[in-house]
C-alpha cells in the first residue's frame, strides 16, 4: 500500500509539472515591487542635519540615516531646477537646456516634453505616482505641469518660491491640487506633511506607489510657526533661528510619513530617499524673490562654497537612503554617486523599462548601496555652461571659468576635499585632460533655455525704440 501511494504521488507530481499546476509563475517568483518615497529638501546645508553634527534638531532624518545608508559623496547640480530635472530624466541638464540657474517666475520655458520622466516609467510599471510639494520644472504652460508628465496626483507649488503662509508669490497664488488652485490656510511644510500622510493612508497595499515629496523648506522666505522658533531661543541670529525652526518643522513631517508607513504595514518594503537639491545658500543674490537682511544662515560645514557654486559646498549634499528589508543599518557609502543615478537604480528595482528614455547619464547604484560593490561611476559632471564648467575624474576635479578673466582650478579631492589648494600649475597634463572633457561636453550641450529667452527679451526691448540722444533744446541751451 505504501509503495502504491508513493507511486500515485509521483505520477501526480509529474502531471503537475507537465501542466504547470504546481510551478510558480514569474510573478510569484519575483519579489514585490517596492514603494518609493523620494524626499527633497530645498537649499539645506550639508552640515545642517544631526547626522552631520548639527545642533539643529533632525531626529527623524537622523534615524533614517542610522537605520539605512548615508551617502557621503552624493552629488547634485548647483541649483534647484537643474537638480530636479536631472532626477526626473536621469540625464545631465546640459542635454536639454536647463543647465543655467533656475526657471524664473516671469519666463515661460520648461523641461522639454520629449524627455521621458521617471514617474512615466514607473507608472508604466504599475505604480501609482504622486508629487506632493514643489515642482519648478515649468509653470507657464500646463503641458509642463506634473499631471501632464506622469504623475497621477499633484499637490503643491509649481514655482520655486512661495510665502509659507499665504502660498503666493508677488501676490499671485501658487498652490494647486490636480491642476486646480486651492485656497486654504496653513503652514506650507505642515500642509505637505498632512497630504503625504493622507496619500499613504489611501494606498492599496497590493499596488506599489511612488511619492515625490518635495519640501520648499528651508528655502527663503525664512518663515516658521512660533512654536518652532521658540525651540531655538538660544540662537541669537534671527535668520539662523528661523532657518533651524524650518528644518525641524520639516523633520517632524518626515517623522509623520514614517509613522504612517508603519501603521499601514508598508515600511519594510518602502525605499525612502532624502537629500537636498543643492548646497546651502551663501549668496544674497541667489536667495530668490525675497530680500534677506543679515547673514545667510545655512552651513555647508568644511566644504567650500554653496548654492550656485561648482565647488563641493554647492554640489555635495546631505543624503541617505533607507529600505529596512534590503539595506543594512549603519551603512556608509563613501563613493561617488550623482542624482542622475537614481533614475536607472529605481527603475531596475521597480521592474520599469528604460526603453522610452533617452541615453542616460546615470548608473544603477544598487549593488554599491546594498552590497558595498565598487561604484560604476568614476566621473561627476558638476555642470557645463557656456561660461564655466567643472568635472571630476577619479580624485581629480577641475573648475574652469571661461569668461575673462578666465580661471582654472585643479584639486585632488582625496587629499584636499575642501578645495583649499589649487594644483593646476603643477599638473598641466591633468588640466589639459579635464579641459578636453569639458570642451567635449560643451560640444554636445543644448543651448541654455534661460539665456535664449533672456536674449530674445532684450532684443525685443531694444529693437524699434528711438535712439537715446539728449533732448535737443536742452542740449543746445547748455553752456560749455
Kindly list the catalytic residues. 80, 136
Phi-psi sector, 126: left (phi>0), alpha (psi -120 to 50), beta: left
Supply 356's cell numbers.
522610452
- CA 427 from chain center: how many Å? 34
Whether 319 contacts 336, CB under 8 Å: no
Owner of C-alpha cell 514585490: 32
Q: Which long-range contacts (CB under 8 A, 24 or more apart) does 413-417 make?
A: 413/312, 417/302, 417/303, 417/312
CB atoms within 10 A of CB 239: 17
Q: Which sign, positive or negative, has the C-alpha torsion 132, 133, 136, 138?
A: positive
Where helices occur in 99-237 by DSSP H, the ranges are 118-124, 188-201, 226-229
Whether 115 contacts 358, CB under 8 Å: yes
Whether 169 contacts 290, CB under 8 Å: no
What's the first-to-final CA gap in the chain, in angstroms? 130
Identify the three-state secondary structure at position 95: helix
Owner of C-alpha cell 518602502: 270
Strand partners, 129: 210
Whether 136 contacts 81, CB under 8 Å: yes
CA angle 175, 177, 180 (to 5 degrees): 80
Q: How far apart are CA 154 and CA 134, in angstroms?
A: 10
CB atoms within 10 A of CB 171: 7
Ranges of beta strands (E only) in 256-336 are 270-276, 319-322, 331-333
Nearest CA to 293 among 237, 226, 346? 237
Amino acid at each position: 500500500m505504501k509503495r502504491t501511494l508513493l507511486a500515485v504521488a509521483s505520477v501526480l507530481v509529474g502531471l503537475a509539472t507537465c501542466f504547470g499546476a504546481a510551478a510558480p509563475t514569474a510573478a510569484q517568483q519575483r519579489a514585490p515591487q517596492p514603494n518609493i518615497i523620494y524626499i527633497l529638501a530645498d537649499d539645506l546645508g550639508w552640515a545642517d542635519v544631526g547626522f552631520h553634527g548639527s545642533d539643529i534638531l533632525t531626529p527623524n532624518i537622523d534615524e533614517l540615516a542610522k537605520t539605512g545608508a548615508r551617502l557621503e559623496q552624493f552629488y547634485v547640480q548647483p541649483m534647484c531646477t537643474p537638480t530636479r530635472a536631472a532626477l526626473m530624466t536621469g540625464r545631465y541638464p546640459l542635454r536639454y537646456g536647463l543647465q543655467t540657474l533656475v526657471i524664473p517666475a516671469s519666463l515661460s520655458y520648461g523641461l522639454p516634453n520629449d524627455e521621458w520622466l521617471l514617474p512615466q516609467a514607473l507608472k508604466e510599471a504599475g505604480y501609482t505616482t504622486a508629487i506632493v510639494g514643489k515642482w519648478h520644472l515649468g509653470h507657464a504652460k500646463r503641458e509642463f505641469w506634473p499631471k501632464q508628465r506622469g504623475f497621477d496626483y499633484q499637490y503643491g507649488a509649481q514655482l520655486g518660491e512661495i510665502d509659507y503662509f499665504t502660498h503666493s508669490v508677488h501676490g499671485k497664488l501658487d498652490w494647486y491640487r490636480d491642476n486646480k488652485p486651492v485656497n486654504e490656510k496653513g503652514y506650507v511644510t505642515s500642509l505637505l506633511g498632512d497630504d503625504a500622510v493622507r496619500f499613504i493612508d489611501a494606498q492599496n497595499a497590493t499596488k506599489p506607489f511612488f511619492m515625490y515629496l518635495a519640501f520648499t523648506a528651508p528655502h527663503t522666505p525664512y518663515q516658521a510657526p512660533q512654536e518652532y522658533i521658540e525651540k531655538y531661543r538660544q540662537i541669537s541670529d534671527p535668520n539662523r533661528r528661523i532657518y533651524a525652526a524650518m528644518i525641524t518643522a520639516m523633520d517632524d513631517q518626515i517623522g509623520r510619513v514614517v509613522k504612517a508607513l508603519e501603521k499601514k504595514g508598508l515600511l519594510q518594503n518602502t525605499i525612502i530617499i532624502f537629500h537636498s537639491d543643492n548646497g546651502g545658500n551663501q549668496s544674497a543674490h541667489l536667495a530668490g524673490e525675497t530680500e534677506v537682511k543679515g547673514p545667510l544662515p545655512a552651513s555647508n560645514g568644511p566644504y567650500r562654497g554653496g548654492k550656485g557654486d561648482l565647488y563641493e559646498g554647492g554640489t555635495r549634499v546631505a543624503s541617505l537612503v533607507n529600505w529596512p528589508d534590503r539595506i543594512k543599518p549603519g551603512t556608509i557609502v563613501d563613493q561617488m554617486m550623482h542624482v542622475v543615478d537614481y533614475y536607472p537604480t529605481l527603475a531596475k528595482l521597480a521592474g520599469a523599462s528604460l526603453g522610452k528614455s533617452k541615453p542616460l547619464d546615470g548608473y544603477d547604484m544598487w549593488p554599491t548601496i546594498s552590497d558595498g560593490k565598487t561604484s560604476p561611476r568614476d566621473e561627476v559632471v558638476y555642470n557645463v555652461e557656456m561660461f564655466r564648467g567643472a568635472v571630476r575624474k577619479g580624485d581629480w576635479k577641475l573648475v574652469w571659468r571661461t569668461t575673462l578673466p578666465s580661471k582654472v582650478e585643479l584639486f585632488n579631492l582625496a587629499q584636499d576635499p575642501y578645495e583649499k589648494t589649487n594644483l593646476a600649475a603643477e599638473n598641466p597634463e591633468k588640466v589639459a585632460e579635464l579641459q578636453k572633457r569639458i570642451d567635449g561636453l560643451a560640444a554636445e550641450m543644448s543651448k541654455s533655455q534661460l539665456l535664449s529667452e533672456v536674449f530674445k527679451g532684450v532684443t525685443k526691448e531694444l529693437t524699434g525704440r528711438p535712439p537715446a540722444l539728449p533732448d535737443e533744446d536742452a542740449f543746445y541751451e547748455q553752456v560749455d
